[in-house]
Chain A
Amino acid sequence: MRAPIKYVLTAQVFRSIISLVLLVGMSSIEAEPLPFEACPTRAFIIQKPGSVPKTYGVDMATGSYSTFSEDMGTVNGYNGVGFSEHDSFLYGWDYQRNQVSRTGTDFQITDIGSFNKDTQSEAAGNFFVGDVAINENAWYGYRKNHGMFKVPLDTGASYLMSYIPGSIDGASHTIMDMAFHPSDGYIYAMTSSTNSHLIQIDPATGLSSNLGLVLTSPNKMTFGAQFFDVNGNMYISDNHTGIIYKVNIASLSAEAFSYGPSSTSNDGARCANADIPVASNVDFGDAPDSYGTLMASNGARHETSSALYLGDLVDNESDAHLPLLSDDLSDGSDDEDGISFPTGFEVGEQAMINAAVSGTSGSGYLNAWFDWNANGSFEADERAISAQAISNGNNSIAFTVPVWAVAGPSWARFRISSTADIIAKGGVADGEVEDYPVVVTTTGVAMTYYPNASSYTAVAYEDLFPLEGDFDMNDVIMHLRFIHYVKSGMIHSIRIKARLVAMGAGFHNGFAIQIPGLLRSNIHEASISWTIDGVTQSTSPLETGQTNAVFIFADDLWHYATADEGEGCKYFRTQAGCGSSAVIEWDMTVPFVNSVSASAMPGVPFDPFIFSAPGYSHGQIVTDLIGSDPGRGLEIHLKNKAPTDKFDNRLLGAGHDISNPATGSYFQNADGQPWALEVPDTWSYPLERQSLNETYGEFMGFAGDISGETNSTWYLNANGPVYVNKN
C-alpha cells in the first residue's frame, strides 16, 4: 500500500492563491472615475455623429476642438449634460440606463447608483435638456409638455428624480438645451427655430418667461449645446453649422462668436463660472476696434498653426494691438504680408488683389471685407471676397468696387481658414487674419507719394533762432509723408501724414505746414478731415489771417510728448539711454476748391516750419527785440523759405540770421547754415548736443557742393553716435 500524498500549503502557494482571488475580484468591480479639474475653461460638446457618443473639448475663443473621447462606453445617447461645480463631474441623461449618470476624466458614462423616479418622471421618458445647478447640488431636466424635473445629487448612493409641481405650465417651449446662469439663479434657454427666443426658467417652480426674440435666420437653428461664462454671457452652438453664438441676455442680442464642430446630435456642458481665455496661439487683426478687433469686441481671431496662413509670417498675441501701436511695427515681425494690391481701388471699377497662401494643408478659403463707405465697420454688403477657394502660392482675385463706395482712406480685412463661410469678427479654429489700410479713389485718380507710400521724410530743426545753436538738429524732428491725388494732370486734394519723432528742446514749439503759392481761399475748409492719434478732430487746422494755405498741426508739441522716462532724461528721444515708444501721428486730407495743375503745385515737402508756442518765451534776444514774448510771430523755416504772414519781421536779420528778403535769402547764418533741414529718410539723427557735422562727416562735403552731387547720400553714413529711431 502506498503512503497517502501529503499536500503542503506553503506560504508561496498561499500568496499565489490570494493574488488570483484578488485579480478575479478586482476585474469584476468598476474603476471609480476621477473628477475633472475645478471649473475648466473648455466646453464639453457631446455629439453622436454615428451610433456612439463622442466628447470634444472646445476652445470657446476660437472654436477649435479636440477629441476627448471617441467612445463613452455606450451605444445609446447621453444628453442634457451639465458640469457640476460641486464635485467637478459631468452629469447627464443616460439613454442606456434611463437615468442620470456621471462622467469623469475617463469619459465613460458611469452608473451613480440606485435611481428612483416618481410617477411623472417615469412618464417623461428620456431627456435631452438638462444642466446641473450652481447654487445647489442637483441636476435639472426639462421635457416639453411634461415639465421640469429634479435629481438631487448629494443624497449618497440612492437618488430620486421628482417632478416639480406645476412646472408643466412652463414647458411649452421647443428647446434643445438649457443652462444655469452663473449668479442669478435662473435657467436660460434659446428656442430652436428660424426665430429664436430667449426663455428664462425659475428652477424652483419650473415656470418660464419668453424674454424676447434674439436671433433670426432663413434656416432653422437648433441649439443643442448652451452654456454660460463667468460674466453672464450665454453661448449657444447651432447643430447645423457649428457656429457658437454669444448672447447678451440683457440686451437680447447675439452675434457669431466662433466656429465649432457641427453635428445632428449636439449637447454641451461647461463650468458656468469659467471665463473665456485666449490661448497662446491666437492671431488677431490690426484695424481700429470699431471693426471688431479686440477680444472684448469679439475681434477677428484665428488659432494659428503651420497648416494654413497668409504670406510667410503669422504671429500670436493675447489680444489685438490697435493702430498706431500695432505689434507689426514694434516687434520687428510684420505678419501682414500675405496680401498685396497690384491695382488701386477706384469707385465703380474692377480691382485686384493677390493672396499668398502657405501651409501644410495646401488650401483654404479666403474672405475679405472692405469698408467701402468708411463708416468704421464691415457690413455684409462690404464682403468683397466670399468663401473663395485658394491654394498654396499666389492667388489673384478680381472684384468690383461698388459705385456707392466713398473715396478716401479706409480699411480692409482678409481672413483665410478651412471654414468657408465666416463673418468679419469672431474666432476660427485655423488660418490667419490680416488687416490693411487702403485708399479708395474716384475713377482715373492717380496717387503720387513722397518719399513713398510707406516711408517718411524727416524735417529737423534748431530752435534757438535767431541765434545759432549746437547744430545737433534735433530740437524738433518731424516725419512727413505726402500724397497727391491727381486726375488728368490736376491735383484735387492732398494728404499729409506727420509724426513727431524727437524734441531736444526746452522751448515750446508748434508745428505747421505752409503751401506757398496755394491760396488759403482755394482750400475747401469744411471738407478737411484730420486725426490726431486716430482721433477725428472737429476744429479746422487751416490758419486764419494767412494769404497762403497754412495748416497748424500743433500749437505746442509738448502737449503731445513728454520727456523720456529715466534718470537724466530731459527731452523726447534725443539722449543716449533715453527713449519712448510713444507714436504721435497726424493724418490730414485737404481737398481743394479748384484743382491745381501738377506742374504749378509747389514742390514737396512744401514749407514745414516750427513756431514759438504762444504764451511762451523764446529767449532773451527775442524779448529784447520785440519787447515781449513772440507769440505766434517767431517761425523757423527751411533755408530760403519765406515766412508766413504771421511772422514778426523784426526777427529777420537779427542775431546770427542774415535773412534778406530782397535776395530771397531766409533762415541761414553767415556760413549758409540753416536752422532747418530736410532729410528724405527716417533718419538716425545726432544725439543731444552732438553737431550734425561731427555725426555725419560727409555732410559738409555735400553742403559745400551746390550741385548736390558730392556725398549725395551723406545722411546714410553716420560716423558718430546717432539716435536710432524705432518708431
Chain B
Amino acid sequence: MNSTLTQWLAVITVICIAVQINACVYSGQEDETDDSSANSTSTNMDSSSRKALIDPFNTLESTYKLAIDINLATQERAFLSICNNFSLADSNNTDSNTIGLEATSSLKMTYTVDFDACLVRAPLIHGQYVQELKVANHDDVFIVVVWYYDGSDPLYQIWRKDEESQYQQLVLD
C-alpha cells in the first residue's frame, strides 16, 4: 500500500476514535456503576463559547395565566365551578369558534359537567369571585357553572382562550 495513503488512513482512524471518546464524555451514562464519563478530573468545563439553544431565562413553562373575575348581581348563595370536561346534555358536540365567554343563547343550553375535572370550586361571596390561576396550555376551553341553592336553573357559560392575546381573562357579570 502507498505509504502516504497509509498515513492518511491512520490519521483518519485517530480522528474517528477521538470523536467517539468525546461523544461518550458528553452523553453521560445512566448506570451508576459505569462512571467512565465522570473519570475526567475536570470539574468546571469551559462551555462559554457554545451558543445557547435555549434562552437562559426561559424556564420552559407550558402554561398561561388566567385572570378570573366573577361579579354577578346577586346576594343569593351560589357556588362556582370552572371545569374543563363537559358536554352538551344529550350531545357531545361542543364545537364553536367563539372567543371568550359565549353570548347567552335564547335557547336554554344545559350541560353535563364533570365536576371532578375543575380548576375552581368556590362559593360566591355576594356573587363575587376573583382569582388568578395558572393553566396548562392545552386547557383552552372551560365551562363556568354557577349553581344556586334555591332550585333555580344553574348558569352555564363557555369560555375559550384567545390565542391572539397574551393576557387571558375570564369575566362574568
Contact = CB atoms under 8 A, between A and B. Distances in A.
B123 A453 contact: no
B47 A656 contact: yes
Contacts of A444: 123, 125
B59 A638 contact: yes
Interface stretch (A231-239, A286-294, A713-721): A713-721
B66 to A, nearest CB: 11
A505 B26 contact: no
B40 A621 contact: yes
B93 interface: no
A453 B137 contact: no
B112 to A, nearest CB: 8
Interface residues of A, number: 88
B87 to A, nearest CB: 12
B173 interface: no
Contacts of B63: 680
A599 B30 CA distance: 41
Contacts of A504: 30
Interface stretch (B9-17, B99-107, B113-121): B113-121
A708 B163 CA distance: 12
A50 interface: no
Interface in A620-656: 620-622, 624-625, 638-640, 653-656
A447 B115 contact: no
B117 A506 contact: no
Q: Looking at chain B, what size class is its interface with the partner chain?
A: 35 or more
B32 A457 contact: no
Interface string B8-44: 0000000000000000001111111101011111011
Contacts of A704: 53-54
Contact of B41 (A451, A624, A663, A673): A624
A464 B61 contact: no
A508 B135 CA distance: 32
B43 A624 contact: yes
A654 B43 contact: yes
A267 interface: no
Contacts of A164: none
Given A448-B131, A671-B54, A464 B28 contact: yes
B76 to A, nearest CB: 12
Contacts, number: 209
B54 A673 contact: yes
B134 A617 contact: no
A342 interface: yes
B5 interface: no
B59 to A, nearest CB: 5
A669 B47 CA distance: 8
B136 to A, nearest CB: 3
Nearest to B129: A446
Interface string A320-348: 00000000000000000000111110100
B120 A671 contact: no
A658 B138 contact: no
A434 interface: no
A653 B47 contact: no
B50 interface: yes
A482 B78 CA distance: 24
**Residue of B38, B43, B60, B120 with most chain A CB atoms under a 10 A cut-off:** B60
B84 A452 contact: yes
B53 A470 contact: no
Contacts of B62: 678-680, 702, 708, 712-715
Interface in B109-149: 113-123, 125, 129-139, 145, 147, 149
B27 A470 contact: yes
B60 to A, nearest CB: 6
Nearest to A599: B132
B54 A343 contact: no
B32 A451 contact: no
Interface string A601-622: 0011000000000000111111
A707 B57 CA distance: 11
A118 B119 CA distance: 81
Contact of A680 (B38, B47, B136): B136
Nearest to B54: A672
B132 to A, nearest CB: 8
A704 B28 CA distance: 24
A716 B149 contact: no
A445 B63 CA distance: 25
Contacts of A702: 60, 62
A469 interface: yes
Interface string B59-79: 111111000000000000101
Contacts of A680: 62-63, 136-138
A475 interface: yes
Contacts of B28: 464, 467-470
Contact of A342 (B52, B81, B122): B81
10 nearest CB pairs, A to B:
A672-B54, A446-B122, A680-B136, A620-B38, A670-B47, A506-B32, A343-B79, A621-B38, A620-B35, A342-B147
Interface of A: 340-344, 346, 349-350, 352, 396, 398, 443-455, 457, 464, 467-470, 475, 486, 488-489, 504-507, 598-599, 603-604, 617-622, 624-625, 638-640, 653-656, 658, 663-665, 668-674, 677-681, 688-689, 700, 702-704, 706-709, 712-716
Interface of B: 26-33, 35, 37-41, 43-45, 47-48, 50-64, 77, 79-81, 83-84, 113-123, 125, 129-139, 145, 147, 149, 151, 154, 166
Given A452-B84, A704-B54, A714-B62, 6 more contacts: A350-B149, A396-B151, A448-B131, A467-B37, A469-B27, A470-B30
20 contacts: A342-B147, A446-B120, A448-B119, A451-B136, A452-B119, A457-B136, A469-B30, A506-B31, A598-B131, A599-B132, A654-B43, A655-B45, A658-B48, A663-B56, A672-B53, A680-B136, A680-B138, A702-B60, A702-B62, A709-B166
